[in-house]
Amino acid sequence: MAVFAPTTALTITLFGLAWIPVGVSGVLTATLNQRVFPTDLLGRVSATKGTASGATLPLGSLVGGGVAEALGTTTTMELAASGFGFTAVYVLLRPRIRRLPAVETATPDDFDLETETH
């Protein structure tokens, strides 16, 4: 909806509000990692995720900038929003994802995770 807002201020506000669930998800993911992965592997898992995220950020920025240059800002924001929509539909269509336990009760077995210490 931010793409179709009549003012820039409303667009910025709505786009900012859309990122609140992303922040919440980040905290829940970090908590889940701490519950599921053995303590001796937690640093390795965090470093791998951080490296992959940091390494792909410049590429995503470059592609996003290229898309915005070629198609315009509005179309680029629409594409980004459709990515979030696709994720929501994917979760709705995958019953196993919807049946995952709450973070505070998750175990490695819930994710078919096998480690040497588990």
CA dist., res. 28 & res. 16, Å (int): 19
Q: Where are the alpha helices (DSSP H) in 19-94?
A: 20-36, 39-71, 73-93
In the predicted structure, residue 15 carries a pLDDT above the cut 90: no
Is it the case that residue 62 has pLDDT exceeding 90?
yes
Query: pLDDT tens across 17-54, in order?
Result: 989 998 999 999 999 999 999 899 999 999 999 999 99
pLDDT tier at 6, thresholds 50, 70, 90: confident
> Smallest Cα–Cα separation from 117: which of 42, 40, 32, 45?
40
* 73-95 pLDDT tens trace: 989 989 988 998 999 999 999 99
pLDDT of residue 61: 93
- What is the model's pLDDT at position 88? 92
Domain ranges of the chain: 9-111
Confirm if 106 and 35 have CB atoms less than 8 A apart.
Answer: yes
